[in-house]
Amino acid sequence: MTGTGRITGELGSRTRSVVYGELSQAEVDAELPLMIRVDQAHLVMLVEQQLVSAEAAGQLLRCMDELAAERFRPLLRRPAPRGLYLMYEGYLIERLGPEIGGVLHSGRSRNDLKATITNLRFREWLLDFGAQAVRLEAVLLSRAREHQLVIMPVYTHFQAAMPVTYGYYLLGVAIALGREIDALRAAGAGLEICPLGAGAVAGTDLPINPARTAELLGFSGTAGHALDAVASRDVPLRLLGAAAGLAIVLSRLATDFQLWSTAEFGFIGFPDRLVGGSSAMPQKRNAFLLEHVKAKPAQALGAWAAAAAAMAVTPFTNSIEVGTEAVASVWQGLRAAEQAVLLSQVLVSGARPDAARMSERASSGFTAATSVANQLVRSGVPFRTAHHMVGDAVRKAVQAGSARLADFGPPGWLDEIGLDGQDLPALVRAQSHGGGPGAFAEPYRQAAAAWTAHRRWHLQSRQSAASAQAGLAHAAGPLLRPGAVDGARGGPGERAGEPA
């Protein structure tokens, strides 16, 4: 069966390739399994609602199983003048006849079908991406705990500022990453609403049961407004925004790592497997993976801008600009964010701090200066006076090529506060107020608890998805057997949820 009844012509091959692309095994593998999952749930519901016979549903389900077993190869040789779904439905009609194959689309449209498949695809992506982001969070926390005593200077305006530890730095990044995972989880909450049942744009007058298909597909709720369900793709846009925010955090980490891995800094090193050489300069060890991480937010943000622009100034209804073009841009950005996470995992775990070099730079960079001023404040000196005294001593010490502040102020000016011989680890331990490195234990405990919650969310989401899959297989199982009874959920002759 070709055409729509109203339209009998079709696109030329070149135009068709522009609109629908070239059908490939990869495209089919990405789309058809989800489409068939939706079809299975839809057929179970149609049988329960007495809208399709169990025999017809069983033949359709068996044909779908055969296709899946062959990885949909019979479809790859078929023309798709009106897209993948109608080509696939046409195959079912050819195989089973219009009386069987033609009932599949009862009570729905390509519009709500596509919106549902889109949510399922993004939901699967979120599970995979969430697993990798939570794994990176664990790597950061593990390295933070391992290196919590490795003294280093923290920088402001690219100048050595105060003494902290490498573990403290990594803990800060882990905390920021944890918030981005929270944002990702919040953005993904909208994927729990099932658009199936919205039809083309205004629901249907057939007595379908959207709550049943939502249950079988593992959604927690149904769309309450059909127009919104097919018109909106704000959830994928928010998902991309959250993923881009996460990639931005990682790009800032990579920026620090790239600077610190230079010979001029020498704070961290990477094993040979994580660096590259030069085609012309044999001495080079380029930490080039960091540059990829730094660049990924540009791709994610550019994709967000492209998707948002495609959605803007479109009518609030089902729209190719929104449902197809904008969503295609979203996928490009999400892939970039995913790559940033995967690269960051190996970079954080592979980076090795040079503790001696970090400590030496913290000392020679006068990072204890603020602590000296604060100790003078404790002895009764006004802070601005103390600030000036220490700054003057630093200036004189630099001019003299020394790092001993005690030698460049009034005689014995530091004797009473006891800082002349105090080492940097002691100063770091003293910085225990306001979230400083001396109070490492509590923020680490909180960050570890956040990681536990993130991992629990991910595992529960995985388990929920697997449970829904099992429930769908259980519901479809009786229909797959020849001679299935109509209205299997409520018994023959009765509509689901109604008395016989």
Could you give the residue numbers annotated as active site? 157, 278
Distance CA 126, CA 123 (A): 5
Q: Which helix H or strand E contains 327, and what residues bound it? A: helix 327-350
- Cα 115-120-122 angle, rounded to 5 deg: 95
Distance CA 178, CA 189 (A): 17
Axis-axis angle for helices 441-480, 110-146 (nearest 10): 150
Which 3 state secondary structure label does DSSP give 221?
strand
Of the candidates 117, 45, 42, the residue with the CA atom closest to the CA atom of residue 85: 117
Match 């609109």 to its residue by tokens. Answer: 19
Residue 214 dihedral angles phi and psi, to the nearest 5°: -60, -45
Secondary structure (H, E, C), 434-458: CCCHHHCHHHHHHHHHHHHHHHHHH
Distance CA 413, CA 390 (A): 10
The amino acid that residue 299 corresponds to is Q
Find out whether 277 and 212 touch, Cβ atoms under 8 Å.
no
Its sign, for the CA torsion 209, 213, 218, 222, is negative
Find out whether 327 and 118 touch, Cβ atoms under 8 Å.
yes
